[in-house]
């Protein structure tokens, strides 16, 4: 091991940590007072946007996600801001026309995003092309992703070849995204070691604490040559989130690695988030079940955010007693559908199908439209062929698409703006409607309805107290 190798940390508390632990319900007002201190810690990046943050902001929090990003940007003057982008799916649940993707990336870069972590749920590189070009056009950092999963076809050789493709496409860095926390230390050592043989750009490792292996996985990844790891400040670490930032920083420094982070400032950040966490516990938003170590994740391969959403779905249906049964059904559905990695939107789709199969007591009696679209090839190429019997039962003899899904889509921005009419005050409004038509429409109506608390452009005012 090189005693002088520099290891960098990406802090996830503003995005993935609370997405995994409490379904992305942290408010902007709870984030802003600590941003300047986070900015001084020495992180490589603050992951603060993308994923489910946009959806949760307009659906549950009545907040403007673009305003959140701009407010964070104002306070983070030294640290890069990072977002998670689902390639051609952006932040929604379908493929969008290229002009929507180009507009979204341009506006996100303008609002403050420095690093775009771009993935496709099927590892179909065709679905990364447009967003990658848009990021390059904006002169921002394009981090392309290997969505890690386990199946007969998802081997180390598979990921090595995929990484080479991503480098050839123009990736500035590569992230191995272990969204389910199922990459074991031994596999991490082998995989990172093999990637380092063929990749000469930074490699970042993302995992979750769900199965109990995360700290060991990170240590072996770093030993094998990983450059950056994703961590969460301790009050929002562990369980279905990432391992604690302070712990990993302390241990890696003890091992002799260089980390340019301030542990004292980390402690101050942690102290800030402790009462924030307690508030969400008191409100019933933070569910301690998501803090459990779940070794079954190694078998079911269910990511942290998916676990919390599955539990939430079953809670709404008064069927939490079916939780373990649904977990057992997930890998069966995944096999039927050609082993898609369980990452958004596939995690939600597979999870919902598993819930339907269990609750209806008959497999595939109820099938969401998204699953039908997936089987038709509208999301891209499945990693392995879909089970023929399941395919015929669901879509009959319909033709399965083989071209890049977005090639069939006509430009959308102009028609979407026309649909909104006077309600579309900005390009961001059109994008909100594009991503989430019904929820976005309701949000925009509320945003622009006359209210004394609104400011001149209709955005919700955010009151914060600096610490």
CA angle centred on 157, ends 5 and 348, rounded to 5°: 90
Mark residue 41 as left, alpha or beta (left: phi above 0; alpha: psi -120 to 50; beta: remaining).
alpha
Give the Cα separation of 415 and 9 in Å (integer): 42
So what's the pLDDT on residue 467? 33
> What average pLDDT is seen over the chain?
92
Give the Cα separation of 305 and 297 in Å (integer): 12
Tokens, residue 131:
């967003």
Q: Could you tell me the end-to-end alpha-carbon distance of the chain, in angstroms, rounded to an integer?
A: 39
- For residue range 266-304, what is the model confidence (pLDDT) as tens digits? 999 999 999 999 999 999 999 787 888 888 788 777 765
So what's the pLDDT on residue 288? 80
Give pLDDT < 50 ranges for the chain.
Answer: 1-2, 454-467
* Residue that has been written with the tokens 């959403």 in this structure: 309
So what's the pLDDT on residue 348? 85
- For residue range 239-249, what is the model confidence (pLDDT) as tens digits? 999 999 999 99
- Spell out where 159-244 has E strands: 173-177, 203-206, 228-231
Tell me how far apart the 2 most distant CA atoms of the chain are, in Å: 63
Return the SS3 of 129: helix
Q: How far is CA 275 from the centre of its chain?
A: 25
Alpha-carbon separation of residue 18 from 286, 287, 314, 353 (angstroms): 9, 11, 20, 25
């Amino acid at each position: 091991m090189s005693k002088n190798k520099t290891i960098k940390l990406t802090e996830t508390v503003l995005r993935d940590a609370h997405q995994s632990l409490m379904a992305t319900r942290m408010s902007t007002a709870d984030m802003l007072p600590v941003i300047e201190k986070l900015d001084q810690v020495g992180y490589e990046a603050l992951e603060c946007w993308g994923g489910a943050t946009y959806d949760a902001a307009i659906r549950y929090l009545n907040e403007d996600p673009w305003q959140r990003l701009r407010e964070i940007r104002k306070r983070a003057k030294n640290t890069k801001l990072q977002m998670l982008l689902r390639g051609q799916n952006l932040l929604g649940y379908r493929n969008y026309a290229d002009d929507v993707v180009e507009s979204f990336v341009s506006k996100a870069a303008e609002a403050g995003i420095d690093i775009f972590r771009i993935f496709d749920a099927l590892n179909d590189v065709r679905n990364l092309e447009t967003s990658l070009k848009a990021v390059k056009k904006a002169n921002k950092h394009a981090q392309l992703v290997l969505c890690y999963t386990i199946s007969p076809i998802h081997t180390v050789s598979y990921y090595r070849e995929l990484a080479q493709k991503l480098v050839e496409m123009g990736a500035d860095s590569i992230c191995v995204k272990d969204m389910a926390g199922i990459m074991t230390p031994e596999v991490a050592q082998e995989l990172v070691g093999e990637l380092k043989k063929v990749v000469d750009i930074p490699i970042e490792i993302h995992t979750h604490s769900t199965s109990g292996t995360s700290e060991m996985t990170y240590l072996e990844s770093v030993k094998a040559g990983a450059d950056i790891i994703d961590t969460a400040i301790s009050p929002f670490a562990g369980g279905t989130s990432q391992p604690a930032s302070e712990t990993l920083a302390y241990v890696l420094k003890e091992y002799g690695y260089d980390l340019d982070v301030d542990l004292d400032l980390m402690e101050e950040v942690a102290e800030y988030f402790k009462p924030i966490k307690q508030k969400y516990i008191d409100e019933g938003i933070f569910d301690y079940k998501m803090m459990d170590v779940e070794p079954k994740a190694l078998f079911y391969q269910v990511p942290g955010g998916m676990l919390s959403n599955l539990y939430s779905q079953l809670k709404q249906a008064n069927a939490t007693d079916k939780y373990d049964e649904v977990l057992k059904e997930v890998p069966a559905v995944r096999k039927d559908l050609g082993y898609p990695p369980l990452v958004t939107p596939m995690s939600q789709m597979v999870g919902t199908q598993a819930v339907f199969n269990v609750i209806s007591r008959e497999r595939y009696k109820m099938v969401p439209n998204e699953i039908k679209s997936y089987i038709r090839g509208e999301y891209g190429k499945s990693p392995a062929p879909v089970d023929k019997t399941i395919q015929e039962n669901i879509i009959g003899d319909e033709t399965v698409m083989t071209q890049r899904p977005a090639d069939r889509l006509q430009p959308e921005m102009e028609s979407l703006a026309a649909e909104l009419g006077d309600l579309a005050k900005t390009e961001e409004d059109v994008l909100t409607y594009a991503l989430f038509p019904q929820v976005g429409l309701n949000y925009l109506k509320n945003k622009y309805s006359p209210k004394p608390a609104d400011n001149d452009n209709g955005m919700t005012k955010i009151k914060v107290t600096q610490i």
